[in-house]
Chains A and B, each alone.
Chain A
Amino acid sequence: MIARSVALKLIEKCPEIQLICPVLLNNGDEKYEKFIKSTKIIVIDGCMTRCATKLVEKREKKPFKRIFIPDMFKKYGIKLTKKLLLNEENENLAVQIMEEIIKELEEVEVKEILKSSKFETLEFFEIAVDKYHFKVPKEGYYFNENDCWIKPEGKTALLGISDYLQNVAADILFVEFPEIGSEIEQFDDAGSFESSKTVLQLISPGTGKTIRVNKALENNPELMNQDPYQRGWFIEIELKDFIEDGELLMKGLGYFEYMKEKIMKEKNIFEHIESEKNV
């Protein structure tokens, strides 16, 4: 019962976590084949038979984390009762376990983002103006005229700011994300970021639901300046209709041309940044 409660609480808190049905898994259901290989598995065993662990081991997968509920009872000094229904103490335990798992997941995620192991090498269009260097990825990214990008990957997409906006903002110090689960429409404000100079918004290039935010930015907001297209991504959304979003977006080359024109027109903004830096 507690194992079930922990699992349900987890998906409630983090919609990107998925439950695996042990019966289907045991039947060797194809549906899970690829999924299990490519993702982190959290195993929650409720009793000594440890069915969940055994099922995952059968698939030759090492779980990311294993929770054995009786151990948790010991750890938090709670007595097991024979009753089938959860009492308040058990419920609290489930919440504690859930929070423990989430914290661990977040720490690992931040480490992974910082290591940037999962990002490929990008090819860029590049231009240098005075001391500033502007890059735009050639492929895979779409932009709106508000200098924000979207990188669709199947049904989801990462969002972030362009190298141009990063340069305009100068050193980014704080980020403010939208809530996980919030619905964002194209051109809605999808969070903000603050530098010593200004507060800017990320204006969403796409419509969808926020499913993940880049936790690494909370302690390392400079990633948005250093690597705006990859490690400095801002949020992830579940796309509603990217074909429709695409009608008002530009591809890499289109945005690069637009950005160049804008840089020339707004050169005064950069001169302004320069003079502030020199103070």
Chain B
Amino acid sequence: MSKNYEAEKQTFMGVPRKIIPWWPTIDYDKCNFCMECDKFCPHNVYAKFDDEKHQLKVKNPYNCVVFCRACAKTCAPDALGFPQKSEISNLIKKLRYESLGD
């Protein structure tokens, strides 16, 4: 399961995925690099970097499914954060509205 989706062409509700800022943020003060989140997510969002200080990174943010927060549940130290849902849905509505106006 290492396939990268063609993020360039992805859309969410008709809005290009690349302009929707939704993906997990890792709080490195809390993360213990157990890799449960990476194991859980089927979308290849995270990646492991064994030789680096931060062994876990968000490698493919646009692979993350907008409004999904499922991996946060697997994180025991509660190190994963997501944007404000209402801000993102308002942004999507606004972008959709603008594109209709074209």
Residues of A within 8 A of B (CB): 144-146, 185-189, 192, 198-201, 203, 247-248, 265-266, 268-269, 272
Contact = CB atoms under 8 A, between A and B. Distances in A.
A201 B71 CA distance: 10
B85 A188 contact: yes
B66 interface: yes
Given A187-B85, A199-B73, A272-B1, A248 B92 contact: yes
Contacts of A200: 70
Contacts of B40: 198
19 contacts: A145-B12, A145-B13, A145-B65, A146-B65, A146-B67, A146-B68, A187-B85, A187-B89, A189-B69, A192-B73, A198-B40, A199-B70, A201-B69, A201-B73, A203-B68, A248-B89, A265-B5, A268-B3, A272-B42
Contacts, number: 44
Interface string B84-99: 0110010011001000
Contacts of B74: 199
Contacts of A268: 1, 3
Contact of B93 (A188, A199, A248, A269): A248
Given A248-B13, A269-B1, 16 more contacts: A145-B12, A145-B66, A146-B67, A146-B68, A185-B86, A188-B85, A189-B69, A192-B73, A199-B73, A200-B70, A201-B73, A203-B68, A247-B96, A265-B5, A266-B42, A269-B42
Interface of B: 1, 3, 5, 12-13, 40, 42, 65-70, 73-74, 85-86, 89, 92-93, 96
- Counting chain A CB atoms within 10 Å of each CB, the highest count among B1, B5, B12, B70 belongs to B70
Nearest to B70: A201
Contacts of B96: 247
Nearest to A189: B69
B69 A186 contact: no
B8 to A, nearest CB: 13
A237 to B, nearest CB: 17
Among all A-B residue pairs, the 7 with the closest Cβ atoms: A187-B67, A187-B85, A203-B67, A268-B1, A269-B42, A248-B13, A201-B70
Nearest to A188: B85
A186 to B, nearest CB: 7
B4 to A, nearest CB: 11
- Counting chain B CB atoms within 10 Å of each CB, the highest count among A201, A248, A272 belongs to A248
Contacts of A192: 73
B93 A247 contact: yes
Contact of B89 (A186, A198, A265, A266): A186
A125 to B, nearest CB: 19
A200 B70 CA distance: 7
A185 B85 contact: yes
Contacts of B3: 268
B98 to A, nearest CB: 13
B52 to A, nearest CB: 27
Contacts of B73: 192, 199, 201
A199 B68 CA distance: 12
B88 to A, nearest CB: 8
- Counting chain B CB atoms within 10 Å of each CB, the highest count among A185, A189, A272 belongs to A189
A201 B89 CA distance: 18
Contacts of A266: 42
